[in-house]
Chains A and B, each alone.
Chain A
């Protein structure tokens, strides 16, 4: 029944390590996103893929590399983890309006991955 799922839910790791977070959605959506929510609770978009194509790439260190093997999956790999990477990472998905239509697409969020870098 889970619509957007993420693994792992919790990730505690040492500085300098490389880690991956996986996301899957079973809603039939064509667009997926990665957000970072820091300790001040701001949700900031990092990346978005539409039909496996990267369409949003915010100012994010290139230690972060997203990969979308298919429309239903969007993974996030982080190299050389730093203390400042500690945050909650949310995956989301939506069915995106075409450019010709005005439609307010809803984004559905996964449960989040709590990353703590020590």
Chain B
């Protein structure tokens, strides 16, 4: 079983719609969670950290469910520029020296 699993998609989303997708992780002791965004042929960039209570950053909302070991990302009012691959990232434990585990990504395609 992969340490971080994501639905690869693609999720085809009309502009203005809402899209949500999850990511599951296998290590129950995982401490930190992130969503990174990767555009085609570009480097990954941090989209947002995911906090236990859930957090929102503009149109993006991230949730963490420790009991079921998944995190989610919801994008409201999708823009064409939201088309990208969204990488779920987990840091296994405290003091693990930044050893992040990446999912393979969920591709989102926003269409006009």
Contacts and interface: CB of A to CB of B under 8 A. Distances in A.
A102 interface: yes
A42 B91 CA distance: 16
Contact of B34 (A42, A99, A104): A104
Contacts of B97: 31, 48, 50, 55-56, 96
A43 B2 CA distance: 13
Interface of A: 31, 33, 40-45, 48, 50, 55-56, 90, 94, 96, 99, 102, 104-112
Interface residues of B, number: 21
Contacts of B87: 43
B44 A42 contact: no
Contacts, number: 52
Given A94-B98, A96-B97, A109 B105 contact: no
Contact of B98 (A33, A41, A90): A33
A31 B51 CA distance: 23
Contacts of A94: 98
B94 A102 contact: yes
B85 A41 contact: yes
Please provide the 9 A-B residue pairs with the shortest distance between their CB atoms, ordered closest to farther.
A109-B43, A43-B102, A99-B95, A104-B32, A55-B97, A106-B46, A104-B49, A41-B104, A42-B104
A44 B44 CA distance: 13
B27 to A, nearest CB: 15
Contacts of A50: 97
24 contacts: A31-B97, A31-B98, A41-B105, A42-B104, A48-B98, A48-B99, A50-B97, A55-B97, A56-B97, A56-B99, A90-B43, A94-B98, A96-B97, A102-B31, A102-B94, A105-B98, A106-B46, A106-B49, A108-B46, A109-B43, A109-B45, A110-B43, A111-B42, A112-B42
